[in-house]
Structure 1
Amino acid sequence: MVYSLTYRRPSHVTSSGDSINGDQKPESYTSGSSGNSAGIPEALSFDNIINNGTCPPCTVRDFMNYLKYIEHAAENLQFFLWYHDYTARFNNLKESERALSPEWTQAQADAEALSAVQQQRSKAANVEAHSILQGTTFASNNASKINEKGDPFHTPPASSFDEQRAVASEYGSSTGDDTLVSSATARGIASQAFGDAGMKWQPFTTQPYRDEISRIITVYIADNSPRELNLSSREKQALLHALQNTTHPSAFRDVVSTVEYSLRRQAHPNFIRWAICNGNRPRVVFARGLGVFTIAAGLLADLLITLSSAHRAWRVLPFLGWFIGIATLIAAWKGMCVVLHGLHHRHLRPWELFADSTDEATLVGSEKAASNDSLASSGANSFEDEPWVPRYKKRNVIRKIFDRQVWIQEPALRQIQDTIFLQSLLGAAVLSAIFVGIFCAVPKGNLF
């Protein structure tokens, strides 16, 4: 079974690199909407992947690996999975415990957002006034007084926040990247983050999961945090204001909406487009070269037959070379190797090649495993120090072309690949017939 012959795989969505706040999102978008791009069947929808309703290589674990190793932006999915796990755990608390953290309403969120905008404008005005007065007698006579009152232009020496981050870094390096910073360190860094936003924060509270919220601020929200989310200063300040009052999941409402929008509209289509490719880059380049070589062979054969005194019917024979070469080239242009597709196989990814036998279950992927990663680790998403990186670099090109293969388990992905393969066959048949027909129409050369 295949999809429509007019099927087109998802287009690559580029990132602007800027934070997408609520004002920039289309009015039709709401959190939780499918938002499927063209070329993505319902079976491979974002919600289906997140809810663990897909098979390899389209599981949430594969999605996480793609964002980490290919897009280099896994923090959005890590935070998104943590938030859903946190919401479930919070809702399972006793009513008396949930009452300690009241819901953060939309009206409160809007008020905080407006307040953040006003503070930004005030700071911008102060900066402009400072630049105007810079170098004047007024500025020199009052510099000390202004700094004593909290001059926003005065840069304090690296102290509490930097020292606490250094402690966290040293702690993480001694116990491994997958170790959370201590609660005391997390509270210290979170307190500094609140201080940077002009707020006071009580480090100890009876609200549930306050220590966990401190760690989340340390890892995802604070400036220069290891997995800092791409948030605008307004969104960040509004979130910190909300977390100052409650640990209710609703405090993250706007931030989660921003993160989810990026995942649905950019990361998810790019992931599906990438998953369609069944071969690694050396194999695809090899397939393209093979297609060009076969086309060249068919062209040369038709030229020789046309220049000879052979009957016109012989000029149809190179059709096979044209057909195979063009079909291979079209499939390779879309990232597929026709040989691997004939077996419904795919190459193992570099990070999968050198997985230990104890890690085989990890390759299957699950929402729980990916969610645990987002909860249990606090280090940056860098992978340059992982053991597979130097080992894969040492691998020669021939071995990469013929790397290990595994069965593609996801039926919807196989259907997409079947459709692309059929499209390549039909395209090759039409183009080959045109080229062979042109040679058949040319008078014979009678040169030999």
Structure 2
Amino acid sequence: MVYSLTYRRPSHVTSSRDSLNGDEKQRSVNESIQSGSSHMSSGIPDALSFDRIISGGTCPPVTVREFMNYLKYIEYSAENLQFFLWYRDYSSRWDSLPASDKALAPEWSASAADADIYGASPVRPKRVPPQIAEVLKNTDFADAPKVTVDRADPFNTPPKAESFDDKRDLASDYGSSVGDDKTLLSSTASSHRVVTEQAFDDAGMKWKPFSNQPYRDEISRIISIYIAEGSPRELNLSSRERQSVLHALQHTTHPTAFRTIITTVEYSLRRQAHPNFIRWTICNGNRPRVIFARGLGVSLILFGFLADLLITLSHAGRGWRVLPIVGWFVGIATLVAAWKGMCVVLHGLHHRHLRPWELFSDSSEEAADEKGMSVDSFLSGTRNSFEEEPWVPRYKKRNIIRKVFDREIWIQEPALRQIQDTIFLQSVLASFVVSCVVVGIFCAVPHGNLY
């Protein structure tokens, strides 16, 4: 069974976060939730919708783990899905709290969030950095009036509070020591508090570390990992969005405090990352294999053209000119499928190539990968970089022939196989029509009688 022959795979979506305001993004997210998918017109069937993937209703290679790997290794934005999954779990845990605990952290209203983003922000003096103050000491510029910074201007540098000089140094050490595997956040229990306090200070706010609100320590870790500037998994937030969420978290740990940024994160996942992930997953071969398939398709087409040309220029009968249709047909079908990222040979087996990060994994690494999808992993503070992972140098050393004929695995997701069947059928039909037209043209040409 296939989809309509007019089916088109999802188009590549570029970032458009700056073209829509918060209300438009929220409406778009609500439409996606109500429809259950991104609509078949966009090339994504209901069986592969965002909500179905997140809820675990799909099979490999379209599961949450593959989605996370795609965002990490291809789009370099795994922090969006990590934060989204953490927020879903956090909201669930919050709903199960006793009413007495919930009362300690009131809900953050939408009007307050909108006021933070679109309202005017106070102007506050900006302190001269200590390094510059030391240079200007005992000069005429030492007593120069302090510069004021309009906090509504996102291009101004955030101010620094004088009482945090030592902590700024520690936060700087924290930022510079963040590596691919370990950070101060994971090795020092109090480091995230320092970074969180610094983030509030940069926003001109006061942090309340000893609040009796539920999950206050966890929230401070989230700030130091995803929200603070220079954090290991910093979200792509505007200055206003960052200040708005910090203002909300200054007063409450209620899930609604993340209202201003969770909409941006979810919109990015639903409207950009998800369609791109489905488009990428449809490709069943790696890049060397797809390039090889394209080259093979072009070669077969050239072979068919050359054969038809030679037969036409000879004394052979017109019936012989039909034989090269085999080269035309196979070449065009292979080229059209490869142009959409598919190898017809792999498709015939319903196989796909293993991804580079899957080739060298063993059972222990797979177990660690599954553990990496836990909520605790979202609070680890490690970066999403992968340059130092063992598979990177090993895959680079792999010769091109081995890459073309890499290991294969069966595609388990029925909806994905159905999409690939549709694309294959489209390729075959297009190839048949074009081949018949081209061969018909050659058959209509008079004999060359050159030999």
Alignment-derived partner of residue 198 in structure 1: 204
Return the structure number with greater relative CO, CA threshold 8 A, min gap 6.
Answer: 1
379, 382, 398: which one pairs with 2:382?
Answer: 379
Q: How far off is 1:233 after superposition?
A: 1.2
Residue 8 of structure 2 aligns to a residue whose secondary structure is coil
Q: State the Cα distance separating 1:186 from its structure 2 match.
A: 1.1
Relative to structure 2, which stretch is displaced further, 375-384 or 312-321?
Answer: 375-384
For 2:200 and 2:251, how far apart are their aligned partners in 1?
12
The question of 1:334 aligning with 2:336 is answered no
Quote the residue 1:188 is aligned against. Answer: 194
Shift of 1:147: 3.7
Q: Deviations over 1:309-348 (max 9, x none)?
A: 1111111111111000000000000000000000000000
One-letter code aligned to 2:380? S
Once the two structures are superposed, residues 116-161 of structure 1 have per-residue CA deviations (whole angstroms, 9 ceiling, x without a partner) of x4127x47xx99xxxxxxxxxxxx9896364499998887897523
Structure 2 residue 48 is the aligned partner of structure 1 residue 44? yes
Q: For residue 357 of structure 1, report the CA deviation from its aligned partner.
A: 2.5
Could you give the per-residue CA deviations for residues 164-186 of structure 1, whole angstroms, max 9, x where no partner exists? Answer: 3424765x659736973644211
Equivalent residues in 2 for 1:19-30, closer than 5 Å: 21-22=21-22, 25=25, 27-30=27-30
Does residue 395 (structure 1) correspond to residue 402 (structure 2)? The answer is no
Question: Judging changes above 3 Å, is the alpha-carbon distance between structure 1 residues 162 and 422 closer, same or farther for their aligned structure 2 residues?
Answer: farther
In the alignment, does 2:434 pair up with 1:438?
no
Structure 1 counterpart of 2:305: 299
CA drift at 1:110 = 2.6
Shift in CA distance, 424/252, structure 1 to aligned 2, threshold 3 Å: same
1:152-301 to 2 correspondences below 5 Å: 159-167=166-174, 170=177, 176=182, 180=186, 182-301=188-307
1:298 alignment partner, SS class: helix
Residue 30 of structure 1 deviates from its aligned partner by 2.8
Q: Secondary structure at the match of 1:119?
A: coil
SS of aligned partner of 1:380: coil
1:119-130 equivalence runs, <5 A:
119=121, 122=123
Cα distance, 1:289 vs structure 2: 0.6
SS at match of 1:48: helix
Q: Alpha carbons of 1:370 and 1:318: their partners in 2 closer, same or farther (altered >3 Å)?
A: same
Query: What secondary structure, in the 3-state scheme, does the structure 2 residue paired with 1:144 have?
Result: coil
The Cα of 1:304 is off from its aligned counterpart by 1.3
Give 1:187's aligned amino acid: R
Aligned twin of 2:358: 352
Report deviation, 1:377. Answer: 2.4
Equivalent residue number for residue 78 of structure 1: 82
More divergent stretch after superposition (14-23 vs 399-408) = 14-23
Give yes or no for the alignment of 1:7 onto 2:14: no
Counterpart for residue 321 of structure 1: 327
CA 1:68/1:91 → structure 2, altered by over 3 Å: closer, same or farther?
Answer: same
Distance 2:147 2:320 in 1: 94
Distance 1:207 1:32, change over 3 A: farther
**In 1, are the aligned partners of 2:5 and 2:426 still within 8 Å (CA)?**
yes
The alignment-based identity, stated in percent, is 64
Residue in 2 aligned with 1:428? Answer: 431
Q: Distance in 1 between matches of 2:311 and 2:211?
A: 88
Q: Is the 8 A contact 1:20 1:258 kept in 2?
A: no
Counterpart amino acid of residue 59 in structure 1: T
- 378 and 18 in structure 1: CA distance in 2 versus 1, 3 angstrom threshold: farther
User: Per the alignment, do residues 432 and 177 of structure 1 end up closer, same or farther by CA in structure 2, a change over 3 Å counting?
Assistant: farther
Aligned-CA RMSD value:
2.9
Shift of 1:113: 3.1
Match of 1:144 in 2: 143
Distance 1:46 1:224 in 2: 29
Shift in Å, 1:307? 1.1
CA 1:62/1:299 → structure 2, altered by over 3 Å: closer, same or farther? same
Unaligned runs of 5+ in 1: 128-139
Q: Deviations over 1:34-82 (max 9, x none)?
A: 5616000010001011111111111011011001100111111111011
Deviations for 1:86-141, whole angstroms, at most 9, x for unmatched residues?
A: 11112122222222111112233233334xx4127x47xx99xxxxxxxxxxxx98
CA–CA separation in structure 2 for the residues paired with 1:3 and 1:175: 44
Q: Cα offset for 1:424?
A: 0.1
Is this contact kept in 2: 1:295–1:322, CA < 8 A? yes
Q: Provide the secondary structure at the position in 1 that maps to 2:235.
A: coil
What is the alpha-carbon distance in structure 1 between the residues aligned to residue 313 and residue 84 of structure 2?
Answer: 66
Q: CA deviation at 1:371?
A: 4.2
Q: Which stretch shifts more, 394-403 or 84-93?
A: 84-93
1:387 is aligned with what amino acid?
Answer: P
Contact 2:347 2:420 in 1 (8 A): yes
Q: How many Å apart are 1:370 and its aligned residue?
A: 2.4
Q: Which residue of the partner structure matches residue 99 of structure 2? A: 95
Partner of 2:412: 409
Letter paired with 1:404 = R
Mean alpha-carbon deviation: is it higher for 347-356 or for 98-107? 98-107
| AA partner of residue 236 (structure 2) | N
Q: SS of the counterpart of 1:346?
A: strand
How far residue 281 of structure 1 moved from its aligned partner, in angstroms, is 0.3
Q: Which moved more, 1:212-221 or 1:20-29?
A: 20-29
Distance 1:426 1:276 in 2: 19
TM-score normalised according to structure 1 size: 0.88
Q: CA, structure 1 residues 378+165, in 2 after alignment: closer, same or farther (shift >3 Å)?
A: farther
Deviations 1:188-216 (A, max 9, x none): 11111111111112211111111111111
Aligned partner of 1:118 among 109, 117, 120? 120
CA 1:274/1:188 → structure 2, altered by over 3 Å: closer, same or farther?
same
Give the conservation status (yes or no) of the 8 Å contact 1:19–1:230. Answer: no
Rounded Cα–Cα distance in structure 2 between residues aligned with 1:75 and 1:177: 16
Query: Across the two proteins, how many residue pairs are aligned to each other?
Result: 427
